[in-house]
């Protein structure tokens, strides 16, 4: 346990982030996203505290740059132990998942359920802070089930902030714990951005980030709030990450995306990454533009061949690497001279 506790200052500049997404924001996706933006804040997928304690792989590659570890759990001791396990790694902060409504999460009584129990979340924050100098933050929603009003939200936020929560990420809709699937819980409850702004007005000194349904980083909310987090839009259009660095530094972004993609493919090949993990983050490239559908299809075919489903069942990594490169060359050719960078929305 650290002895001379001194909380790290959370940066005060507007924070641009890619949302934690289970099954999506794994190590390889993070490497790709980092190649597209040096300044975007990346999060892990949610890792359950027990899994961390039992030794699941939480190493961070240097190529990922700054990453925040998102933890799921509801027991202060277990969450604190998970933080202690993560401390030797290069995470820059810890995030508590208090917004996810999936069945698995409900069984563990964490995720969005935690909104119903502000003292427990405060206890989690306090216990985690005992193990780290790094900031501890909370990702949550505007409400859960019938606890969907500003009074409850403010009580919840106040309790988090009082316990030392360094930043709140607010998904601008409520969650229903029964009756809606996780995917429906990301579309059916209406977005209420004005309630996020009201929360910031109620807690002007708190760091509050907005999330939910946003399609660009440069959106109207970023002046009034402390950060903007996008999830599905980045998965669907990874090239929008090229817009982040110019917003932060007022300098050009990271150059030609074709070079970046080639670099990423070569890096993953060298590192021995599984195609089923490192190819999907590329599938959204150029979505909606000439050649993008064929590009996605060719990646799908490569994955099918790799697993032997209806294909030749070839497993030679060098061959797979060559096929990916050839598909990419075909894709950039289909773009008819247009550069992928010109597609940025």
Residue number closest to ligand FMN, CB atom: 231
Binding mask 203-222 for ligand FMN (x = CB under 6 A): --------xxxx--------
Residue holding tokens 């061959």? 319
- Using CA atoms, how far apart are residues 267 and 49, in angstroms rounded to an integer? 30
Rounded to whole angstroms, the Cα distance separating 43 from 18 reads: 7
Q: Are 254 and 206 in contact (CB under 8 A)?
A: no
286 binds ligand FMN per the rule CB under 6 A: no
Piece of 7-15, 231-239, 298-306, 314-322 that binds ligand FMN (CB under 6 A)? 231-239
Residue 139 lies near ligand FMN (rule: CB under 6 A):
yes
Strands (DSSP E) found in the chain: 15-18, 42-48, 67-72, 91-98, 136-141, 167-171, 208-211, 227-230
Interacting residues with ligand FMN between 18 and 47 (CB under 6 A): 19-24, 45-46
Q: Which residue, 238, 244, 175, 161, is CA-closest to 203?
A: 161
Closest separation between CB of residue 162 and ligand FMN, Å? 22
> Does the protein bind ligand FMN through residue 186 (CB under 6 A)?
yes
Is 56 known to be catalytic? no
Task: Tell me: does residue 257 bind ligand FMN (CB under 6 A).
Answer: no
Backbone angles phi, psi at 139, to 5 degrees: -110, 125
Query: Is there a contact between 206 and 10 (Cβ–Cβ < 8 Å)?
Result: no
289 touches ligand FMN (CB under 6 A) = no
Applying CB under 6 A, the site for ligand FMN has a residue count of 23
Q: What share of the chain is helix, strand, coil (3-state, %, to 5)?
A: 45, 15, 40
287 part of the interface to ligand FMN, by CB under 6 A: no
Among 65, 99, 281, 291, binds ligand FMN (CB under 6 A): 99
Interface residues with ligand FMN (CB under 6 A)? 19-24, 45-46, 70, 97, 99-100, 139, 171, 186, 211-214, 230-233
Catalytic residues: 100
């Amino acid at each position: 346990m650290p002895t001379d506790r001194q909380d790290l200052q959370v940066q005060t500049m507007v924070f641009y982030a890619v949302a934690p997404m289970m099954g999506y924001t794994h190590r390889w996706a993070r490497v790709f996203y980092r190649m597209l933006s040096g300044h975007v804040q990346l999060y892990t997928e949610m890792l359950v505290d027990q899994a961390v304690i039992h030794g699941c792989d939480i190493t961070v590659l240097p190529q990922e740059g700054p990453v925040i570890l998102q933890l799921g759990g509801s027991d202060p001791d277990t969450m604190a132990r998970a933080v202690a396990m993560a401390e030797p790694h290069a995470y820059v902060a810890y995030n508590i998942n208090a917004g996810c409504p999936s069945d698995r999460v409900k069984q563990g009584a964490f995720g969005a359920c935690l909104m119903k129990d502000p003292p427990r979340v405060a206890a989690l924050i306090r216990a985690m802070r005992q193990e780290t100098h790094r900031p501890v933050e909370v990702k949550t929603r505007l409400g859960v089930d019938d606890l969907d009003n500003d009074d409850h939200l403010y009580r919840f936020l106040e309790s988090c902030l009082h316990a030392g929560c360094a930043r709140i990420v607010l998904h601008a809709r409520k969650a229903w714990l029964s009756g809606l699937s996780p995917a429906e819980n990301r579309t059916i409850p209406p977005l209420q951005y004005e309630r996020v702004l009201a929360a910031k007005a109620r807690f002007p000194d708190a760091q509050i980030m907005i999330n939910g349904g946003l399609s660009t980083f440069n959106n109207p909310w970023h002046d009034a709030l402390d950060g903007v987090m996008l999830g599905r839009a980045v998965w669907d259009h990874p090239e929008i990450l090229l817009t982040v660095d110019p917003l932060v530094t007022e300098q050009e972004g990271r150059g030609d995306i074709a070079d970046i993609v080639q670099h990423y493919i070569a890096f993953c090949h060298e590192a021995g990454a599984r195609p089923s993990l490192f190819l999907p983050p590329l599938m959204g490239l150029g979505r909606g533009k000439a050649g993008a559908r064929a590009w996605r299809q060719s990646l799908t075919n490569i994955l099918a061949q790799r697993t032997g489903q209806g294909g030749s069942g070839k497993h030679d990594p060098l061959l797979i690497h060559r096929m990916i490169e050839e598909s990419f060359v075909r894709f950039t050719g289909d773009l008819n001279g247009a550069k992928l960078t010109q597609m940025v929305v």
